[in-house]
A and B are shown apart, each in its own frame.
Chain A
Amino acid sequence: MQFTVIDTDAGLVITIAETRIDAAIATRFKDKLREIIIRHRKPVEMRMAAVDFMDSSGLGAMIALRKALPEDLPMVLQDLTPNVERVFRLTRMDTVFHIRPAAKSEEQKE
């Protein structure tokens, strides 16, 4: 399972290095990160630029992580790629997470 965790004053910054969060790794992904999130109990920022595919089992893992964090603490998903953003949008789960699209697309508009 490839990810790095930086513990800052403001919260945890978790950078996912896996390119796919799918049925092959969803359970391990959830178990490992859940333990870290519960232990620190602070806002979480997930950097997901490396993830170019996520299926419904990956979505289920992300929802389980959101639920592992108290509701008043935000979970921000940063730099979603289009294929990953689509799954959150189609399932309306984009209303549950704080989603920030990749900054790159803003630059391209100029």
Chain B
Amino acid sequence: MIPTERQNAGPNGRISTRTQPMFHRVLPANPAAVRDTLADIRLRFRSEVSEDTLGRLELVLAEVMNNIAEHAARPSSAGEGAPSIHLSIVRHDGGLACAISDDGVSLPEDCILPRGLPAMDPEDLPEGGFGWYLIQDLTQALCYYREDQRNFLAFRVPFSAEDGAR
């Protein structure tokens, strides 16, 4: 950063930056740890965002992290157990920005390609295949890349009209 850009910084190095609530956690990819983490996220953001937004955030993060728990474990040869998830959430003006990485196997590419609901056969209703549809439906700017043995996923959960008055 060039020095002129810092001229307006106050004595603490920041002047007009509003303090935004954040959440960061490193956790093993298993359903119990995911549950505990979701409860802590709810506590952290409960007074900051509407119940509607919190509900959508919780659903998306449950889908992403349980998907890692279910599918990303390496074949037993590594013997290291569940992948490790790193999760960060920051409140922005337009919503909650989320970044999730894990050290499991690669995410299949079709997970993040646009998709519809699983086929609705009334004779044999689908019991799965909803997770990535929900993630895509409830997020904005969903992006994925793989680097150095880790999966990186980022997206935003937008605020709803209920957050407008805040």
B63 touches A55 (CB 8 A): yes
CA distance A23 to B64 in the complex (A): 11
Chain B residue with minimal CB distance to A86? B55
| Majority DSSP secondary structure for residues of B touching A | helix
CA distance A59 to B137 in the complex (A): 16
Count class of interface residues, chain B? 20 to 34
A90 touches B55 (CB 8 A): no
Residues of B within 8 A of A (CB): 31-32, 34-35, 38, 51-52, 55-56, 58-59, 62-63, 66, 69-70, 117, 120, 124-128, 130-131, 133-134, 137-138
Count class of interface residues, chain A? 20 to 34
- Interface segment, one of A8-16, A43-51, A60-68, A98-106: A60-68
Contact of A82 among B34, B55, B120, B125 (CB under 8 A): B55
CA distance A92 to B55 in the complex (A): 18
A86 touches B125 (CB 8 A): no
Query: 22 A–B contact pairs at CB < 8 A?
Result: A23-B31, A23-B34, A23-B62, A23-B66, A24-B31, A24-B32, A55-B131, A56-B63, A56-B128, A56-B131, A60-B127, A60-B128, A60-B130, A63-B126, A64-B127, A67-B124, A82-B51, A83-B55, A83-B58, A83-B59, A87-B134, A90-B138
